[in-house]
Amino acid sequence: MRVSTMGRLTAAAALACSFGLAAAGGAAASPPRWSMTEVNLPSVVHNGSSAGYRVTIANAGPSNISTLYLVTKTTAAPVYVAPDPTHGTCTQALAGPLKCSFGAVNAGDSVTVTVAYQTPTSGTSFDPVFQGNSNGATFSDSRGTSHGDTLQTGTPQPTTLTSSKDFGGGFDIDAGAVSTDPLLSKKNIQATSVTPPVPAVVATVEDNPAGTTDCPGCGSLLGEWAEVTVGDGQPFQGSPLFPISMTIYGKSVPLKLSDPTVLAKIGMVHVHDGIVDTLNTPCPASGPILNCVTATVVAGNLVITGWVDENGRVRGVG
């Protein structure tokens, strides 16, 4: 998360124009104590996937902001914008550089926008650089001819980009499946995918993540551990379940996959919040239920799919 700092660009007269005059005697009202926070959705994104940001501008008062805008340093068009439904619109969303106009923001009020950008297919970081201001100026106002106050997040925390074959996903706009590298071999024995239950949420997968995973009594483990993140880490209880699939290189599985009785015993372990769930109930023909699992063989590889409602780490077991 980024915490903001405010830059004063004008003298008291310009501030009075931006934020209004006090009722008594025409004296300038005190400028508002405003702040900007930015949350990366998520902090790490695979090159070429979408990176999301939740930007909140809060006015702690004591004065109102007569007009508030949000712009970016990047001139690229966002691929997703969800403006605050209580304040204004983002008029150039999806057609050009982001520019949101929120109108007045009273003391004690705040606005929040969620926006996403397609990241480049190369490089190690991405940052659109958001700015709030009271005048509608863009970053192209290099000579400082526009009057008003500007607000930017302070210490830069750009989104980290990775091209790792063991990582996939970012901000999933359309609830499509995201996956690690699906080309299996002796050097890449597993591909993991997840399909989020709703659009416009974080969805990432990582095979063989760092750190240990405690799984007492899990039995004979297959493939690699995988870490799955959907949304902000909240359980989707009451929402549609989401599937996690692990495709494991068949030659690395020490089981006779051609034997139906062997397949019937294969399941998935799901470790989350200090809890170990063992998924071994076959998914019914009528549709998936919580913690059901299927195990099939596709092109000689083992595919294990479990239906869950929470993030966590998963692994095949048999």
Q: How many domains does the chain have?
A: 2
Could you tell me if 145 and 197 lie in one domain? no
In angstroms, the CA 57 to CA 244 distance is 36
Could you tell me if 105 and 219 lie in one domain? no
Could you tell me if 8 and 156 lie in one domain? yes
pLDDT of residue 14: 34
Of residues 218 and 116, the one with the higher pLDDT is: 116
pLDDT of residue 178: 98
pLDDT of residue 234: 67
CATH number, position 222: 2.60.220
Which candidate, 225, 224, 244, places its Cα nearest to that of 288? 244
Could you tell me if 35 and 102 lie in one domain? yes
Could you tell me if 71 and 197 lie in one domain? no
pLDDT of residue 21: 32
In angstroms, the CA 101 to CA 240 distance is 35
Could you tell me if 181 and 301 lie in one domain? yes
The per-residue b/e assignment along 174-186, b for 16 or more CB within 10 angstroms, e otherwise, is eeebbbbbeebee
Mark which of 132, 162, 192 sits at the end of a domain.
162
Other C-beta atoms closer than 10 Å to the C-beta of 62 total 12
pLDDT grade, residue 18 (50/70/90)? very low
Mark which of 142, 162, 182 sits at the end of a domain.
162
Q: What percent of the chain has pLDDT over 90?
A: 66
Could you tell me if 194 and 120 lie in one domain? no
Could you tell me if 183 and 122 lie in one domain? no
For residue 15, give Cα distances in angstroms to 61, 65, 140, 281: 14, 10, 21, 65
Could you tell me if 26 and 69 lie in one domain? yes
User: pLDDT tens digit string along 55-89?
Assistant: 999 998 888 888 899 999 999 999 999 988 888 78
CATH number, position 63: 2.60.40.1170
Concatenate the DSSP letters of all residues of 138-161 into one string.
-TT-TT--S-S-EEEESS--PEEE
Could you tell me if 275 and 212 lie in one domain? yes
Domain range for 10: 2-162
Could you tell me if 289 and 263 lie in one domain? yes
pLDDT grade, residue 153 (50/70/90)? low
Using omega within 30 degrees of 0 as the cis cutoff, is the peptide bond preceding 85 cis?
no
Of residues 248 and 84, the one with the higher pLDDT is: 248
By three-state DSSP, how is residue 269 classified?
strand
Could you tell me if 138 and 243 lie in one domain? no
User: pLDDT tens digit string along 206-217?
Assistant: 999 999 898 888
pLDDT of residue 284: 95
Q: What percent of the chain has pLDDT over 70?
A: 82
User: pLDDT tens digit string along 262-307?
Assistant: 999 999 999 998 899 999 999 999 999 999 999 999 999 999 999 9
Mark which of 162, 183, 206 sits at the end of a domain.
162
